[in-house]
Amino acid sequence: MALDHQAKRDFKVVGTRVARPDGIDKVTGKAAYGADITAPGMLFGRILRSPHAHARIKSIDVSEAAKAPGVKAVVTSADFATPDDEYYADIRDNCLAREKVLYDGHAVAAVAATSKAAAKAAIRLIKVDYEILPHVTDVDEAMKPDAPVVQEGRALENVPAGMSQNVTSHFEFGHGDLDAGFAKADKIIERTFKTAATHQGYIEPQACMASLGADGRGEVWCCTQGQYMVRANCAEVLGIEASQLRVISSEIGGGFGGKTTTFIEPVALALSRKSGKPVKIVMTREEVLRATGPTVSTSMDIKIGMTNEGRITAARGELRYQGGAFPCGTVEFGAQAAFAAYDLEAVQTLGWNVMTNRPKEIAYRAPGAPTSIYAVESVVDELCQELGLDPLDVRLMNAARKGTLSAYGPTFSEIGLVATLEAAKAHPHYNAPLGPNQGRGLSCGFWFNFGGNTCVSLNINDDGTIGVVEGNPDIGGSRASISMMAAEELGVPYDKVRTVIADTTSLGFNDVTDGSRVTFAVGLATIKAARAAIQEMCKRVAKIWGIDEDAVLWEDGFAKPSGPNAGTHPPMSLAEIAAIAGNTGGPIAGHHEVNADGAGVSFGVHLVDTEVDPETGATKILRYTIFQDAGKAVHPDYVEGQMQGGAVQGIGWALNEEYIYGEDGRLQNAGFLDYRIPVASDLPSIETVILEIPNPGHPYGVRGVGETPIVPPLAAISNAVSRAAGVRMTELPMSPPRLLKAMSA
């Protein structure tokens, strides 16, 4: 899939700032999210959760709850099937605990009742007899050989003997001779870092409405990043046929990776099957924080050697990530991404995945990368400080570019890192004066991006308008960008196109909305589907004109005769062709199905000024500028929005957000008051600079943009705070007490 030779550098629709198609519904309150629909005879479901971090379930007595007023069904894990695949068994056991509860908030049983109040009252009548077990929530503690074991027998073969059974997998990447590299260094810095777990913090709690009959036919309406994923998970956990389960994705109130799995949908289906009625479950915020999401928490050692001139001679990282009570693979991404921004002769990263008594980790924007890159970029910054070097010049000197053998294996093709660094250097922000207690920090960021399984149908309507059917929930405006790409390719105005998100029965399989894949992969499939429709339209016109198909050219929404033997027919518009489609062979549509590769990696650079208060340890963000390669920004407003939103999530991670567990293994801050995400008054304006280094893997050069922006803020802010406070910070978040302690040490 090379960049098209006839590449449309002169875009008509792509690159403009059109109004999004779901705008009016969303500003008037009409848009229907997960919790916004009702069904006739609907029941309300409610889930009983473990108060213990780790306990064996000796028995569950639901008899009193089942008899309570209004209660129509009670379910436990016994109502689920037995999937063959361990992946689905883990999903099942996270939806309702089987033999043990593995973390504070782990679901144990559920009821469906005629009112919210009746359901809430009934779960208190469920009697669970627990045998409390020792627990562990810290990653380093969990790796010790004598640590309480969260789950036995889950370690992969590559984990050396003698380690705790909580260590489930190990990864190693790199190349070159480390010893020789470090021997060449004039300065070597080695540091240990720790980062707290954070939550995706979507404002819409998980919500679903489910209906399942005794015949195994059912429907689920839910807020999700992937309806096909929900279908697969539910079918496996319930033991029903995927074909009989229709999953409809509602409007989604934020996901950021956190809605790429299921928690409540299988439970609602089980309750519905048992009660014979539709069941709605809406999580509370406390449930969201205790039992969904969060990220890994980490402990990391980074060692980097540098010459006096600023050339990195060798780099090594060892990453320990805990992903909660089930095996997780996130450290692999962290280890691959850690040194991606650098062209290194000798590099090695080791990663360990660890289980603890915490909720099962799920993706959050560039999963694994923000933390490892935070640690690497902190050490690079400290080396620059120690050697008296300009941190941007050092990054430019060592930057990965086309032809660089990346630290994780592949050789880079066209990438935009150098261009973003140069843009940062040229920006007035970089040389603006700083006052007392102020510091400037910067960091590079990287994400792989993803393509994946994608299926699109594009229908030419008989009135000359266009319907696009795609299968990826739209979180941040993707229906607009998909419509724009269809309009661009067909040569019709944007407002002639309507894009809808299909349910699982109406379109072939699509991977979840993740990996910054939708504008890239769905866009690519939409362009190819448009080309298939164009080919068909040209064929129809060739038939009408009585000439060869090859002699009809498509240009700006018209079929035109082309070449010496085509004749002088007047061009036919898309609308004219569509109007008579019934006479030329029937309806016209284009389809494209692909497992897209060529996503094109993404780099960004963030520049931040902070001021620290020496009396309170509070940090204020004074100025923030983002430079990022978007390949081609289809809708620049929404590209900027991704950059700004990701940066602010990173600001929260750097300064405030953390999962705080007590000695008892219980989460102590399960609410938005105590788990504090950034609010408007915490922040300055976030300036954005979009660079466009085309991705050769997409017809218009598009790269995913959604994930990279959360990567640089952690290190950029830590570097700025460290310089402002005069002390190197090595732990996140840099909450006021933690910073104050470091400053007074």
Interface positions, 265-294, toward other proteins (CB under 8 A): 282, 284-285
* 476 lies in the binding site for other proteins (CB under 8 A): yes
Min separation Cβ 716 and other proteins, Å: 14
Binder among 683, 727, 731, 736 for other proteins (CB under 8 A): 683
Q: Where does this chain touch other proteins (CB under 8 A) — which range of 157-165, 188-196, 254-262, 578-586?
A: 254-262
Residue whose CB is less far from other proteins, 25 or 131: 25
Question: Are the C-beta atoms of 720 and 616 separated by less than 8 Å?
Answer: no
Residues 6+ apart with CB under 8 A from 634: 14, 15, 481, 484, 485, 519, 523, 700, 702
Can you tell me whether residue 203 is helix, strand or coil? coil
Min separation Cβ 24 and other proteins, Å: 7
Whether cis (ω within 30° of 0) applies to the bond prior to 733 is yes
Binder among 31, 133, 405, 553 for other proteins (CB under 8 A): 31
* 638 lies in the binding site for other proteins (CB under 8 A): yes
Distance between CA atoms of residues 694 and 699, nearest Å: 9
Give one word for 56, left, alpha or beta, with left for phi > 0 and alpha for psi -120 to 50: beta
The upper half-sphere exposure of residue 658, i.e. CA atoms within 13 Å in the direction of its Cβ, equals 18
Q: How many other C-beta atoms lie within 10 A of the C-beta of residue 638?
A: 21
Binding mask 224-253 for other proteins (x = CB under 8 A): ---------------------------xxx
Residue whose CB is less far from other proteins, 2 or 673: 673
Task: Say how many residues touch other proteins, by CB under 8 A.
Answer: 59
Min separation Cβ 682 and other proteins, Å: 8
Interface positions, 399-458, toward other proteins (CB under 8 A): none
Question: Are the C-beta atoms of 610 and 721 separated by less than 8 Å?
Answer: yes
Interface positions, 98-157, toward other proteins (CB under 8 A): 116-117
Longest dimension (CA), the chain: 86
Binder among 215, 673, 744, 745 for other proteins (CB under 8 A): 673
Min separation Cβ 211 and other proteins, Å: 19
Binder among 2, 5, 6, 28 for other proteins (CB under 8 A): 28
Q: Where does this chain touch other proteins (CB under 8 A) — which range of 103-111, 211-219, 396-404, 645-653?
A: 645-653
Name the one residue in this structure whose structure tokens are 């029965």: 505
* 660 lies in the binding site for other proteins (CB under 8 A): no
Min separation Cβ 638 and other proteins, Å: 6
Min separation Cβ 251 and other proteins, Å: 7
Min separation Cβ 653 and other proteins, Å: 12
* 659 lies in the binding site for other proteins (CB under 8 A): no
Can you tell me whether residue 40 is helix, strand or coil? coil
Residue whose CB is less far from other proteins, 6 or 681: 681
* 640 lies in the binding site for other proteins (CB under 8 A): yes
Question: Are the C-beta atoms of 693 and 431 separated by less than 8 Å?
Answer: no
Binding mask 598-637 for other proteins (x = CB under 8 A): -------------------------------------x-x
Question: Any idea what the Cα angle at residue 459 is, between residues 455 and 464, rounded to 5°?
Answer: 150
List beta partners, residue 175.
Answer: 347
Distance between CA atoms of residues 339 and 445, nearest Å: 10
Binder among 648, 654, 691, 725 for other proteins (CB under 8 A): 648
Q: Where does this chain touch other proteins (CB under 8 A) — which range of 57-65, 263-271, 438-446, 473-481?
A: 473-481
Distance between CA atoms of residues 651 and 713, nearest Å: 6
Distance between CA atoms of residues 726 and 428, nearest Å: 24
Min separation Cβ 405 and other proteins, Å: 35
Binder among 644, 656, 722, 735 for other proteins (CB under 8 A): 644
Binder among 6, 158, 685, 744 for other proteins (CB under 8 A): 685
Residues 6+ apart with CB under 8 A from 618: 612, 736, 739
Binder among 4, 24, 124, 426 for other proteins (CB under 8 A): 24
Ramachandran angles phi, psi of 56, nearest 5°: -85, 135
What angle, 0 to 180 degrees and rounded to 10, lies between the N-to-C axes of helices 86-95 and 227-238? 90
Binder among 2, 9, 10, 27 for other proteins (CB under 8 A): 27
* 41 lies in the binding site for other proteins (CB under 8 A): no
* 15 lies in the binding site for other proteins (CB under 8 A): no
* 45 lies in the binding site for other proteins (CB under 8 A): no
Interface positions, 563-592, toward other proteins (CB under 8 A): none
Which DSSP state fits 78? G
* 254 lies in the binding site for other proteins (CB under 8 A): yes
Q: How many other C-beta atoms lie within 10 A of the C-beta of residue 455?
A: 22
In this structure, what is the dihedral angle of CA atoms 113, 116, 122, 124, given to the nearest 10 degrees?
A: 150
In this structure, what is the dihedral angle of CA atoms 419, 421, 425, 430, given to the nearest 10 degrees?
A: 140
Binder among 20, 429, 698, 723 for other proteins (CB under 8 A): 20
- For 215-325, list the strands marked E by DSSP: 218-222, 245-249, 279-282, 297-306, 312-322
**Spatial CA neighbour of 425 closest among 444, 402, 404:** 444
Distance between CA atoms of residues 194 and 733, nearest Å: 9
Give one word for 661, left, alpha or beta, with left for phi > 0 and alpha for psi -120 to 50: beta
Min separation Cβ 680 and other proteins, Å: 4
Q: Which residues bind other proteins (CB under 8 A)?
A: 17, 19-20, 22-24, 26-33, 35-36, 116-117, 200-205, 251-256, 282, 284-285, 475-477, 635, 637-638, 640-641, 644-649, 671-673, 677-683, 685-686
